[in-house]
A = this chain, B = another copy of it.
Amino acid sequence: MVSAELKRLAADNSAIRAMFEEGNNLALKYGRENVYDFSLGNPNFAPPEAVKKAIIDVLDTEDSMFVHGYMSNTGYADVRKAVADDLNSRFGTSFGTDNIIMTVGAAGGLNVMFKTLLDPGDEVIAFSPFFVEYGNYVRNFCGVLKIVPTDPETFQIDPEALAAAVTERTRAVIINNPNNPTGVIYTEQALAGLAAALERRSAEIGHPIYVLSDEPYRELAYDGKKVPWLTKIYRNTIVAYSWSKSLSLPGERIGYLAIPSEIDDFEEVSTGASISNRVLGFVNAPSLMQRVVMRCLKESTDIGAYARNRTLLYTELSKLGFECVRPDGAFYMWVKSPEPDEKSFVAKAKEELILFVPGSSFAWPGYVRIAYCVSPDMIKRSLPAFERLAARYGLQKKETV
């Protein structure tokens, strides 16, 4: 008695649940401290103390009817202004209040944009490997997801492949920068290629192609690397952001859409997004948390801790002989399976009580995703298990990486 789409989703879901339950069963059998769970993208570092201070400040200084009440569907004007100013100071943009819509996380923002843009049958392009939920978001509105592989060496966007995938029905392209699952930051050069390809193809098909840039990992960039700000490179860009990672607030569902005035049909698209926010049942981003993030725009969780995890894991696994993509951002490491069928690799890892996710869950078999948003201690404790796993494949150790 559920819809056909939900029947399909339920089948996928039971696979995920089975993996999760298997992890729980291992923890029950061997003790949770002996199971090395790298499967979840769930921040394992606390929010900065400033979050608690901000909540108490809001409660102590602002009227409770205002703090917990309705506001415009787009969010409190002062919060949107503060977010705009912060972006302007960081990226040289000139956003005002009307360019920011507060959303129920980035997932909410992406659904709002797809509801706004897609007629049934319209196409959205994603670059594999990618966060599979994108396909579900597009299908919510009867859109069609088209997958364009990234360069299999660098996992950077391939502009020619993108240009070839555009059709008359292409309405949007979604990118995730830094990327889940690869940890790659798309470079200025790759994004300039994307912009040139889309400008050419937009002109040819006779309507704009919007890029939705999903950036919950923006602040998680290492070695001084910068994540390019795409609205400066490609005019028809809309940014979806969430404080889930940068402030470790994933449960609070607080994010924004930045919609530059320069995009084609700005009025229609931004008004549409505000309406979609309402009719999809979000109505508005949670009110207290809007007022909290406004006070925490300069704050962040301990990014150094993620950087240390990343260096430790990359170095040690590379030394053991695993072929790892060096992560520049996010909290994921993308590792080549030592055997063609990465699901078999995942199964062998599980025998060593190590859990991670097969690449086929990101439309890219032959690799696995290791999430290092975990305690540094767990990484250290897991290394002997990784060493046994490497030994099973006879991997060649390296002295330096």
Binding site for B on A (CB under 8 A): 1-6, 9-10, 13, 42-47, 51-52, 55-56, 59, 63-65, 67-71, 104-105, 107-112, 115-120, 122, 133, 136-137, 140-142, 207-208, 210, 248-253, 264-265, 268-269, 271-272, 275-276, 278-289
Picked from B107, B249, B272, the residue with its CB within 8 Å of the CB of A283 is: B107
Indicate if the CB atoms of B142 and A142 lie closer than 8 Å: yes
Indicate if the CB atoms of A13 and B70 lie closer than 8 Å: no
Question: How many copies make up the complex?
Answer: 2
Indicate if the CB atoms of B104 and A253 lie closer than 8 Å: yes
Chain B hits for A280, CB < 8 A = 111, 140, 280-281
Instruction: List 10 extra interface pairs beyond A69-B248, A69-B251, A104-B283, CB under 8 A.
Output: A3-B115, A6-B275, A55-B55, A70-B251, A137-B279, A140-B280, A251-B284, A251-B287, A252-B286, A281-B282
Q: Nearest chain-B residue to A119 (Cβ)?
A: B3
Chain B hits for A6, CB < 8 A = 115-116, 272, 275-276
Listed by A's residue number, 20 A-B pairs whose Cβ atoms lie within 8 Å are A3-B117, A3-B272, A5-B119, A6-B272, A9-B279, A13-B271, A42-B69, A52-B64, A55-B59, A68-B251, A69-B251, A108-B282, A110-B281, A112-B281, A137-B281, A140-B280, A252-B286, A253-B283, A282-B282, A288-B288
Picked from B141, B265, B281, the residue with its CB within 8 Å of the CB of A1 is: B265
Chain B hits for A120, CB < 8 A = 142
Indicate if the CB atoms of B56 and A43 lie closer than 8 Å: no
Indicate if the CB atoms of B3 and A116 lie closer than 8 Å: yes
Indicate if the CB atoms of B64 and A118 lie closer than 8 Å: no
Q: Which of A1, A46, A208, A268 has the most CB of B within 10 A?
A: A1
Indicate if the CB atoms of A13 and B111 lie closer than 8 Å: no
Chain B hits for A208, CB < 8 A = 1
* A4 to B141 Cα, complex, angstroms: 12
- Minimum CB–CB distance for A98 against chain B, Å: 14
Indicate if the CB atoms of A1 and B264 lie closer than 8 Å: yes
User: When A64-B47, A69-B43, A276-B6 are in contact, do A104 and B250 touch as well, CB less than 8 Å?
Assistant: no
